[in-house]
Amino acid sequence: MSTLFSESFLGRPRRELGPGAIWVPDWLGAQEQRWIVERFHEWGRGPVPPRAATIGSAHMSVQTVCLGWHWRPYAYSREAIDVNGNRVLEFPDWMLRLGRKAILETTGDPLLAANYTPDTALVNYYTDDSKMGMHQDRDEHSSQPVVSLSIGDTCHFRFGNTNNRNKPFTDISLASGDLFVFGGPSRLAYHGVTRVLPGTAPAECGLGSGRINITMRVTGLSD
């Protein structure tokens, strides 16, 4: 059957990559993607410009702009003390509502969705040669799920286990509009981006090249 029917013909079905890790392809429509891309350009002109964070002595290959709280390895602060000292933009209300919608979509639990209150977003921009090494999202003081949205070029995404960066892991292709949520037993799973596929962004998404990845998180912090 794999030789008779293409992936595009069969569609990209929703998948569970692990307990609490749900992939929903094509969750955002073209109009929603374009609108978010416009917001992305606005954020880039904000008080804190996108920057490549430094881990050890190496610069990451992605440019990051933060909302709500500023992330730097391995801490959060309201001010971007490693960039220009300015306070980052507030976490937008519309993104809170979108995050709750994503939790409802992936869990089917209205109470869990209503109580989900992300207060920061890391917005990463990937160029053609950007990658993200296998890592855990463990700088938060909360175990609430991470909501990830992809817009632009398709990437090869690797989702692993909670013990180490090695196998077992699952490789999938995250395309423009895809939703990925990981929480529960999978909240601290190692994950990364092994490759970006240049020229795969659909024209209707509004991003000429590269990939935007938005990850919403609950920091568990207070001022």
Residue 9 lies in a domain: no
How many Cβ atoms sit within 10 Å of the Cβ of residue 208?
9
Residue 8 lies in a domain: no
Q: Per-residue confidence of the chain (223 residues) as pLDDT tens digits?
A: 344 554 445 679 999 999 999 999 999 999 999 999 999 999 999 999 999 999 988 999 999 999 999 999 999 999 999 999 999 999 999 999 999 999 999 999 999 999 999 999 999 999 999 999 999 999 999 999 999 999 999 999 999 999 999 999 999 999 999 999 999 999 999 999 999 999 999 999 999 999 999 999 999 999 8
State residue 10's pLDDT score: 61
What is the model's pTM? 0.94
State residue 4's pLDDT score: 56
State residue 103's pLDDT score: 98
Phi-psi sector, 122: left (phi>0), alpha (psi -120 to 50), beta = beta
Residue 73 lies in a domain: yes
Residue 223 lies in a domain: no
Q: Domains in the chain: how many in total?
A: 1
Please, are residues 186 and 162 in contact by the beta-carbon 8 Å criterion?
yes
State residue 2's pLDDT score: 43
How many Cβ atoms sit within 10 Å of the Cβ of residue 103?
25
Residue 1 lies in a domain: no
The domain spanning residue 55 has which CATH number?
2.60.120.590
Q: Helices (DSSP H) in the chain: which residue ranges?
A: 7-10, 30-44, 93-107, 110-115
Please, are residues 162 and 99 in contact by the beta-carbon 8 Å criterion?
no
Domain with 37 in it: 24-217
